[in-house]
Structure 1
Amino acid sequence: MAAEQERNSAPVRVAAELSLELKQARAELESAQNAPGLSGTRSTPSSTAVPVT
């Protein structure tokens, strides 16, 4: 029974860590979208584009 608890505890810890990281990433994304003067999309100037041949 102790071995089974040990096997189950690792995935539970991983899920908890990933949940926290996802929550933090969502908060960062939300604050970046609300920041004045920052664009949500990035674009490169056409003068720096390299033509594909």
Structure 2
Amino acid sequence: MIVLGLILLLIGWLANLNWLWVLGIILLVIGAILWILGSTGRAVGGRRHWY
């Protein structure tokens, strides 16, 4: 999700599309939150491990 957010940020910046840029920021924030929760060992979405 973080990588997708970065890609959308880059495309939004190059194409000068503000809505795509905002969507990229939102995905980056959500990805960072999920990464932090997953690294602390907390179950995310009812699952402790994703395979």
TM-score by length of structure 2 reads 0.50
- How many equivalent pairs are there? 33
Structure 1: 5+ residue stretches without partners: 1-7, 44-53
Could you say what the CA RMSD is over the residues aligned between the two structures, in angstroms?
A: 2.4
One of 33, 36, 39 as aligned partner of 1:31 = 36
Structure 2: 5+ residue stretches without partners: 1-14
CA change 1:41–1:17 in 2 (3 A) is closer
Larger RCO (alpha carbons 8 Å, 6+ apart): 2
The sequence identity of aligned pairs, in percent, is 12
